[in-house]
Structure 1
Amino acid sequence: MSQELLLVDDDETFCMVLARAMTRRGFTVRTAQNVSSALILAEQLIPAYVVLDLKMAGETGLSLIAQLRQLNPAVRIVMLTGYASIATAVDAIKLGATHYLAKPAEVDEIVAALRQDEVVLPVVQDIPTPSLDRLEWEHIQRVLNEHDGNISATARALNMHRRTLQRKLFKHPVKV
């Protein structure tokens, strides 16, 4: 199988560092900083592997998954995000991502996820009860996703002031 890897992330420094690390591990890496340039590269390369950031300026990485699958049904896609939530993980896997990892992820963890033949959901033996703050954060992420990232519509659905919602969204995910 080809070792062609498309790395899509709007953080240029992160792209450069990860591309260098993946090249050392035998991948031929091309990078893109947004969905539209990633799609153009993907059509030219038909990559076997894709590492895709969830939150980017403009469209989210989720919007690219189906298009990548159309180009190459066997593509292995790892969704990376600094704002991991159950709702986005489920969406990414349903759309066709092979794996979903929270940033920061180790390079070897990303390589292992890319090389898995099928989606493997982690087996958790002792699931801790999430905190109330974490449950609230997960619920906000799910409702935001249902409203296609529209903050005003999400605030109305949650019966919350838009600015309050924005403050909550700019916080990093709360611990479990």
Structure 2
Amino acid sequence: MADSNLQEIGPDKSLLLVDDDEPFLRRLAKAMEKRGFDVETAGSVAAGKAIATARPPAYAVVDLRLEDGNGLEVVEVLREKREESRVVILTGYGAIATAVAAVKSGATDYLAKPADAQDIMSALLAPEGELPPPPENPMSADRVRWEHIQRVYEQCDRNVSETARRLNMHRRTLQRILAKRSPR
């Protein structure tokens, strides 16, 4: 079952998942438990830092933007308490600047949401200095664009005019995009 270029989970199978999206956190925790990890979850930066301090895990998956702060704070505590832990940053706000910040703070890898459990496991277990294999089913360019528009729309409190201005897009064009179903 294991991919040939992936390492096995080490003797310490502890995995910390930090995300404020409760349904996603539950699904990911269940999927990672099925793959052999001993999972502990946190729904905030504060809870993630507390677990990282008390029981620093061998592995961690941390959302970059949480309601109470930045997930990089959890990564910094993990690096302080357990330097060799392997950390993957997840974010729905993929940008080069945040990827660089994540890696500088000590993350092993950086994945854009929605990442599935197999992509996350590949990133966690990729041999040191090697990139994990490409995802089996990456999002289409249309889907990535749609996700980005939806995120900006939510950040603008569902204000179409403000979203269109920030995306440098005509308001009617944005309304047509928002009225359609998400692409695959």
Per the shorter chain, which TM-score range?
A: 0.5 to 0.7
Aligned partner of 2:71 in structure 1 is 61
Deviation at 1:66, TM superposition (A): 1.4
Q: Does 1:24 align with 2:34?
A: yes
- Could you tell me which of 64, 68, 89 is aligned with 1:79? 89
Q: Identity of paired residues, percent?
A: 47
- Could you tell me which of 166, 169, 173 is aligned with 1:168? 166
Q: CA RMSD in A?
A: 2.7
* Deviates most, 11-20 or 109-118: 109-118
Deviation at 1:26, TM superposition (A): 0.2
Amino acid at match of 2:166: K
CA distance in 1, matches of 2:56, 2:92: 26
CA distance in 1, matches of 2:21, 2:48: 14
Give 1 or 2 for the bigger CA radius of gyration.
Answer: 2
CA distance in 1, matches of 2:54, 2:132: 34
Secondary structure (helix, strand or coil) at the match of 2:57 reads coil
Deviation at 1:168, TM superposition (A): 3.3
Deviation at 1:122, TM superposition (A): 7.8
Q: Which TM-score applies when normalising by structure 1? A: 0.68
**5+ residue gaps in structure 2?**
1-10, 134-144, 149-160, 168-173, 175-184
**5+ residue gaps in structure 1?**
124-133, 138-162, 172-176
Aligned partner of 1:38 in structure 2 is 48
Aligned partner of 1:90 in structure 2 is 100
Contact residue 60 and residue 87 of structure 2 kept, 8 A? yes
Q: Which TM-score applies when normalising by structure 2? A: 0.65
Deviation at 1:121, TM superposition (A): 5.3
Paired residues, number: 134
Aligned partner of 1:157 in structure 2 is none
CA distance in 2, matches of 1:122, 1:43: 28
CA distance in 2, matches of 1:42, 1:67: 6
Secondary structure (helix, strand or coil) at the match of 1:50 reads strand
Amino acid at match of 1:7: L
Contact residue 12 and residue 58 of structure 2 kept, 8 A? yes
Contact residue 65 and residue 71 of structure 2 kept, 8 A? yes
- Could you tell me which of 46, 53, 58 is aligned with 1:48? 58
